[in-house]
Structure 1
Amino acid sequence: MDEEQDRNPPQQPGAARLDRAAFDDLYRRVAAAAPTGARPRGALESITPAHVLAAVGEVRTGRHVSLAATVATRARPDNPEPAHHPMTGAVAGHLRGQGLEFARDRIEMNVHGDADSHLDALCHVVYDGTLYGGVPAATLTATGAEALSVGLAGAGIVGRGVLLDIPGLRGVPWLEPGEHVTAEELLAAEEAQGVRFGEGDLLLVRVGHRRRRREMGAWDAAAARAGLHPSAVELLAERRIAVLGSDSNNDCAPSPVDGVGFPVHVLAVHALGVHLLDYLQFEDLLPLCAEEGRWSFLCVVAPLRLVGGTGSPVSPIAVL
């Protein structure tokens, strides 16, 4: 089916709701775990040339896949404002039939929607009137962000990617909308897959969102989706990852925090300076990792060089 009205999200055993005071305490602990000193590029500073060289060493077979979903151009429950992709120039109905002609196209899209794969810049999350590092939210203007824009990643992000398959750990095809991933499950997935994520890594957490969407149809992902429980970010802070990505939004919905709609975004982007990759797809990567028996690889992310942008569409490449 093309659409479905999602049921109320399941009550996950041990699912802990956080009131605002508990979340504020969590925020302080996460921020305190971040490295001290100037970090103008946020957690990307942890990807050193040595980390990149080590990541290149992950390449053994040369097999590579994209981690991006196909750009969505049709309206769906999770994509009410789809990308617009008109063809122009030398296309049917406008061909001269002689001499040189060029077919052309244009594209416009909602970068931060719930369907297309994208990178969140550090200026994307405003919390209590500030951006990451205490930068005033007033630096966000109608013509672009004056600080912490996607330009911080303009040279690309190259590092060691690590994929943790949570549905595989649970023995299910996907997590249901509303379910969350705990720190304990991240550790259990590491052990089950024989891999460990650490400083400077691009951590990719599969919840099976893309497979569920493909097999069951689109739903209102803004209202119900699987993702990390905010308490799991404390582990990510301790391990000092550089980038966090998911085949969902990284945040589960409904939010488990009273009064904070996207707590993982707040903790990762605002407290830690971690760029987020939202709505990737891992269904091409998953069988390669399983076949080769390894879950780490070279990962290359190349956002558009968009001046003042709060994010960018991306097609990250995993190279095994």
Structure 2
Amino acid sequence: MSAEDFAALCARVRRESGDGAHEVSRGALDTIRPGHVLAAAAEVRSGRTVTMAAQVQTEPGPDDPEPCVHVMTGAVRGAMKRSGLGFARDRFTMNVHGDADSHLDALCHVIYDGTLHGGVDADTVTTAGATALSVEVARDGIVGRGVLLDIPLLRGVPWLEPGDHVTPDDLAEAERFHGVQVGEGDLLFVRVGHRRRRAELGAWHTADERAGLHPSALEFLADRRIAVLGGDGNNDTAPSCTEGVAFPVHVLAVHAMGVHLLDYLQFEDLAAACEEEQRWSFLCVIAPLRLPGGTGSPVNPIAVF
């Protein structure tokens, strides 16, 4: 995709997603109205709950050279009293936007041509944190109807190979295959099989090679006016097919459309539950941490059937 074609695509998805119809401060989260939440609650029939988060990684690997550091700081075996009261305690240090741990990207995460979503000046991101569009936008949680589109299941393969793209036609065909339609305010999750490939073949340099959405797929999402996009990879394909832009899906979704992204989720449990329940929509609850000025947060989205 040429730079000119990408600029035109940016303008189209910004217009089609209803930019200007919602508050810049919340982005596409404003498409989730109380009626959408009530309708999503009606998706609960069996009471089954399923996590979409991967286990936090603490060992370095080719896709995670600086993993989370987990240190026990309280009473542990060999260093605790055998009488009276004690407390086991721990401390975490995490690179939120790595290539292994499940996380949410706030609207201040993507800076493009000197601005954030809605034309907000990028200088609002300071050394003390972002003063606009931070993860605090989602402080009350994100609750709505989740929809899983399982592209490997559609294609009859265990996963998409690195470098492969999910196209708009894939998304439309997956809707028909699953008997579900993505609509306004939905929390859309697109499986490419990244986690299964990693589990079976081992980690690799995902910064250089990974499956994801083709930039043109964002027109499908803009037309449906989704609220959130989540993937079991980075959502962006690598290497990028877009001239001069390494992460075109991030630019289109976060910067142009105001859509919060969730990267590196795991959908293996969810995909199995969808097949067993024979439905690919569910109530979804996402509760990011309240990190003042944060550009993102570790996250554990829960699907409720």
TM-score range (shorter-chain normalised) is over 0.9
Match of 1:151 in 2: 136
Match of 1:33 in 2: 16
CA distance in 2 between counterparts of 1:50 and 1:284 reads 28
Matches within 5 A, 1:232-311: 232-311=217-296
Match of 1:134 in 2: 119
CA distance in 1 between counterparts of 2:155 and 2:6 reads 27
Q: Which runs of 4+ in 1 moved over 6 A?
A: none
Matches within 5 A, 1:155-170: 155-170=140-155
Deviation of the 1:38 alpha carbon: 4.3
Match of 1:9 in 2: none
Q: Does the CA contact (< 8 Å) of 2:22 and 2:28 recur in 1?
A: no
Matches within 5 A, 1:63-78: 63-78=48-63
Partner of 2:61, secondary structure, is coil
- CA distance change for structure 1 residues 38 and 185 in 2, over 3 Å: closer, same or farther? closer
What one-letter code is carried by the residue in structure 1 that aligns with 2:109? H
What one-letter code is carried by the residue in structure 2 that aligns with 1:142? T
Match of 2:40 in 1: 55
Deviation of the 1:99 alpha carbon: 1.2
What one-letter code is carried by the residue in structure 2 that aligns with 1:241? I
The answer to whether residue 206 in structure 2 is matched with residue 206 in structure 1 is no
The answer to whether residue 78 in structure 2 is matched with residue 99 in structure 1 is no
**Identity of matched residues, %:** 68
Deviation of the 1:234 alpha carbon: 0.7
Deviation of the 1:37 alpha carbon: 3.4
For residues 182-207 of structure 1, the C-alpha deviation after alignment (integer angstroms, 9 at most, x for no partner) is 00000000001101111000000000
CA distance in 1 between counterparts of 2:14 and 2:21 reads 13
User: How much is the aligned-residue C-alpha RMSD, in angstroms?
Assistant: 0.7
CA distance in 2 between counterparts of 1:258 and 1:92 reads 55
Deviation of the 1:96 alpha carbon: 2.4
Deviation of the 1:284 alpha carbon: 0.6
Partner of 2:10, secondary structure, is helix
CA distance in 2 between counterparts of 1:37 and 1:312 reads 26
- In the superposition, the TM-score normalised over structure 1's length comes to 0.94
What one-letter code is carried by the residue in structure 2 that aligns with 1:282? F
- Give the count of matched residue pairs: 303
CA distance in 2 between counterparts of 1:229 and 1:81 reads 28
Match of 2:75 in 1: 90
Unaligned 5+ runs, structure 2:
none
Partner of 1:44, secondary structure, is helix
Unaligned 5+ runs, structure 1:
1-17
Deviation of the 1:287 alpha carbon: 1.2
Match of 2:203 in 1: 218
Deviation of the 1:136 alpha carbon: 0.2
The answer to whether residue 263 in structure 2 is matched with residue 317 in structure 1 is no
- CA distance change for structure 1 residues 267 and 289 in 2, over 3 Å: closer, same or farther? same
CA distance in 1 between counterparts of 2:21 and 2:218 reads 21
For residues 146-192 of structure 1, the C-alpha deviation after alignment (integer angstroms, 9 at most, x for no partner) is 00000000100000000000000110000001101000000000001
Deviation of the 1:283 alpha carbon: 0.5
Partner of 1:103, secondary structure, is coil
Partner of 1:267, secondary structure, is helix
